Amino acid sequence: MSIRELDLRTILENMIDVVVILDLNGVFRSVSPSVRCMLGYAPADMIGTVSFDYLFPDDRERVAWTFLRTLESERQMEWFRFRHADGRFIWLETVARAVRDGNRLRGIVVSARDVSDRMRMEEALHERERRYRMIVENANDAIYLHDFEGNIIDVNDNACRMLDYRREELVGANLGKIDPKWRLPENPELANLLTHERHTFERENVRRDGSVVPVEVSVKIVGWEGSGLVMGFVRDITERKTAEAQLRRSEKQYRLLVENTMDYVVRFHLDGTVLFVSEAIETNLGYLPQEVVGRSYLDFVHPDDRPSAGRVFRLASKEGQQGSMECRLRRKDGRYRWMEIRGKSFRNDVTNRLEIISVARDVTRRVEMEQALRRAEKGYRDIFDNALVAIYRSTPEGRVVMANEASARILGYESADDMVHSDTDVAEQIYVDGTDRQWIIDRLETKDSCVVEIPYRRKNGEITWSMHYIRAIRDEAGGLLCFEGVAQDITEQKKAEENLRTTLNNLEGLVQERTEELEDVNTALRVLLNRSKEDRRILEERLQRNVNELLMPTMNELRTCGLNEKGLLFLDLLQSNLREITSPFLSNLSSFYKNLTPREIQVAGMIREGKRTKEIAELLGVSTVTVDTHRINIRTKLGLIGEKVNLRSHLLSMA
């Protein structure tokens, strides 16, 4: 072996790379010893095997094309995965050159180097770049990459969309194209960035059409291919700026509202300490705001209201919860006012602490009116429950929906509840004559109310009489909602009237008989009146005696016949008339004032006896207005109009 061959063998045995010789079919013909260290094979084991069998399946076709190109050219480089003796695949970087003997192609010599670590690093780098690009392209913010002179290196799609430029129009352009302030000789933002390496500020970027978009820029110095660049994250804050402007307007309106409303606004700490109160508190409670801030709200609450106020305050202290209450707060002058307070918790953006904001309104007048209304309602309820007359409400269909105890008592029910909750059909079960109810309904279609006397059927079937005042309750459109009524049991009155009619019929017969007797007496009197005064005196005495002996005993007998009160009144009237007939007063009155009517003479006699207007009206069966008219006529005819003279006293003096 020559020294040259020895040196070549020594080099091959000690080199790290693997050198192999392949024939034209890709079969190993020679393999360097370093294959054992790199691939784990013995050189002898590989000689005679096909090189393509060791390749990763996905790489075989590509390597085969490289093999063919190597046969046609001088030199080829390739990277592929080769199977290790332990079964795993490693990346090899190869340089192949064709071997020729003159013009004859003998094979290919290949030098291979293990580049697995480098390939893994490159793959990791590619993955990082892919992820970076994916993050950049899918970021919500626009991203710029530029140098310190403002030359744009790269932008993401969101930057293009925000500014309405294509990527190629921005890449290579200067940042001053979209940020005019970047061109300023002194750029404070860049100076700040160079000092701190990270900086956030607000700017205005210019779109393609010249419109301005407010942005928030966060910049950072990053390394890029051995030099420093600036990466800017740019966020469109148009909505935020709009919201801030709206918030400022809202805060201005809120402050105007707080400062000018009659209600006052209070902000509390969770422990109840007043942190802020609007100036309206002076109008409501007399305090200046500075006299209240720093004190506990309980200092102003009426002692009786503190437990309930504490419960509501604790409820409102929970985040997002709200509460309301009415309590009495002490004014500066010591008096208490009823206040309606509505509060809700919120988190203070500055301190990040929960606080309570509330609005208080003076409702003293309303509370006092409600208390008065409750007292009035209680009074009404007492009257309703204890009234002797029936009070009820019924539907147009005939169902009783409200009634007091007197209603139940009149109709024979055990209680008002029993009456309301029973299946009572007014038209069928209560009205004796169903047409009475229909008459009432027809009447109330054109009038608001009516008064009727009708018979009713009690629960046990007994018939009673009631006098009803009924009114229709209507809605705003005039539709009928229900009926409300007040009723009084007049059964006994009806019986008395019937008895009175019977008695009056009997009395009319007696009066007719006595009238005939009186006519005979009057005939005799007329004869006697034509005689002398002595004869007249004798006749008057005889008349008086006849009345006393013939008529008065009969009337006294009538008084023992069980007459009711009204019958006795009529009997009194009859006796009074007889006495007036025989009295000298009547003679004097008739003779001196012949222009008085018989009815006026009758009324004058009753006045002289001391009877009141109402009694005279009942005795004569006329109204009190008619009696008053007679009194005026009597005073007129007696010349007493304008005189402060008692009519009865004057009539007594005439007797």
Domain 139-236, CATH 3.30.450.20 — does that match? Answer: yes
pLDDT of residue 46: 92
Residue stretches of the chain with pLDDT short of 70: 1-15, 125, 127-140, 183-197, 223-227, 251, 253-261, 320, 423-428, 521, 524-552, 575-594, 655
pLDDT of residue 123: 79
pLDDT of residue 2: 47
SS3 178: coil
Which residues are within 8 A (CB) of 33 and not within 5 positions of it... i.e. 6 or more apart? 12, 13, 43
Domain ranges within the chain, ordered by starting residue: 3-120, 139-236, 243-368, 387-489, 490-564, 583-655
Rounded Cα distance, 48 and 357, in Å: 92
Using alpha carbons, select from 361, 278, 276, 270 the residue that is nearest to residue 321. 270
Q: What is the pTM of this model?
A: 0.36
- Architecture in CATH of 387-489: 2-Layer Sandwich (3.30)
pLDDT of residue 3: 45
Specify the long-range contacts of residues 348-357, CB closer than 8 Å, at least 24 apart: 353/269, 353/270, 354/270, 354/317, 354/319, 355/267, 355/268, 355/269, 355/270, 355/275, 356/267, 356/268, 356/269, 356/270, 356/313, 356/316, 356/317, 357/265, 357/266, 357/267, 357/268
Q: Do the domains at 243-368 and 583-655 have one common CATH topology?
A: no
Both tokens assigned to 221 = 């110095």
455 forms beta bridges with: 465
Amino acid letter, 120: R
Specify the long-range contacts of residues 495-499, CB closer than 8 Å, at least 24 apart: 496/564, 496/566, 499/564
**Could you tell me if 60 and 52 are in contact, meaning their C-beta atoms sit under 8 angstroms apart?**
yes
pLDDT of residue 303: 92
User: Tell me, what DSSP letter sits at residue 438?
Assistant: H
Per-residue pLDDT of 147-186, as tens digits, reads 888 888 888 888 888 889 998 998 888 888 888 877 655 5
Per CATH, the homologous superfamily of domain 243-368 is PAS domain (3.30.450.20)
Rounded Cα distance, 470 and 393, in Å: 9
Question: Top-level CATH class of 3-120?
Answer: alpha beta
Question: Top-level CATH class of 583-655?
Answer: mainly alpha
**Could you tell me if 654 and 637 are in contact, meaning their C-beta atoms sit under 8 angstroms apart?**
no
pLDDT of residue 158: 85
